Chains A and B, each alone.
Chain A
Amino acid sequence: MHLSPDEIIFWQIGLFKLNATIAYTWGLMAVLVVGSILVTRRLSKDLQRSRWQNLLEIVVTGIAKQIKEVGMKQPEKYLGFLGTLFLFVAMASLFTIVPGYEPPTGSLSTTAALAICVFVAVPLFGIEENGLEKYLRAYLKPTVIMLPFNIISELSRTLALAVRLFGNMMSGTMILAILLTITPYIFPIAMSALGLLTGMVQAYIFSILAAVYIAASTQVSKQKPEPESDPESEPAEK
């Protein structure tokens, strides 16, 4: 019984090991990319559209609506990043239906990589929106004493993102493996369904938390009231 798909090695040459994590990640990416290319080859704007295009539209507008509800006014800017996070983690967990597949997010390498992507993306989006100085000044709010705590909270929430996803996925596969050795027939199917449910919830949680972090870093400047919009200055603009 292994702790993560890192330990299943398909092929090894020198120091490079083609383990199950890498193979399944690339397979997942291939399915997502090729599927999307095939669906978006012939996009139609009228009511006659293929069901796959309909499905993709539902997914994209759903994610955009969620991003807008978190508080970001222009979801198109972040839709690529957050949508990819959600779709990758959701598909990684959905494909456990396929026999012989293990979710690559059950390995700490994959989840650490995703969490580092979020860790890098949050300052990037914040600086793109507000400028470098305003972004750095946000670390000094509410007082300068909070500077080390803000930095620590940045690091710890990245770690929490990685370990949360890893722990949930790993526990799902491990419970399944343990149950298969004890009661092989009906109960593992129920646990596998539960694993699917937690996989979807964790995908949603990961992307919503990334959205909340990005929203927190891009909305710093909008909290101050603007002095130009006093009622006394309104009559001057005729």
Chain B
Amino acid sequence: MDSMTIIAVASIITAGFTIAIGVIGPSLGEGRAVATALTSLAQQPDASATITRTLFVGLAMIESTAIYCFVVSMILIFANPFWNHVIAEATKAVGK
């Protein structure tokens, strides 16, 4: 396999695995966070504004790790610098 094929295969496989494995952790974490928030809401309903706000802030912080994985996989698919470099080289070689 030449380097172009290796780059393409590695990028595609890595993009898939990045997003697939990367969202396991945040999903479990967010599930636990919401479950605990629901328990405390049931125990103290008049603190619901504070609990809800803290829940949303916490969910956003947990979500951001999943977003990092998503951004990496998007970059690998759509804005891959190695692929762009290899394509530029190939276009130059064809143009000669």
Chain A positions near chain B (C-beta within 8 angstroms): 1-3, 66, 69, 160, 163-164, 166-168, 170-171, 174, 201-202, 204-205, 208-209, 212
**Are B74 and A170 interface neighbours, CB within 8 A?**
yes
Number of residues in B with C-beta < 8 Å to the partner?
17
B contact residues around A160 at 8 Å (CB): 61, 64
**Are A69 and B74 interface neighbours, CB within 8 A?**
no
Chain B positions near chain A (C-beta within 8 angstroms): 49-50, 53, 56-57, 60-61, 63-64, 67-68, 70-71, 74-75, 78-79
B contact residues around A204 at 8 Å (CB): 56
**Are A171 and B64 interface neighbours, CB within 8 A?**
no
Q: Max chain A CB contacts within 10 Å: which of B50, B57, B61, B64?
A: B64
In the complex, what's the smallest C-beta–C-beta distance from A36 to chain B, in angstroms?
27
**Are A167 and B57 interface neighbours, CB within 8 A?**
no
In the complex, what's the smallest C-beta–C-beta distance from B70 to chain A, in angstroms?
6
**Are A3 and B78 interface neighbours, CB within 8 A?**
yes
One of A2, A69, A167 near B53 (C-beta < 8 A): A69
Known: A3-B74, A201-B56. A69 touches B68 (CB 8 A): no
- 18 A-B Cβ contacts within 8 A? A3-B79, A69-B50, A69-B53, A160-B61, A163-B64, A163-B67, A166-B71, A167-B68, A167-B70, A168-B63, A171-B70, A201-B60, A204-B56, A205-B57, A208-B53, A208-B56, A208-B57, A209-B60
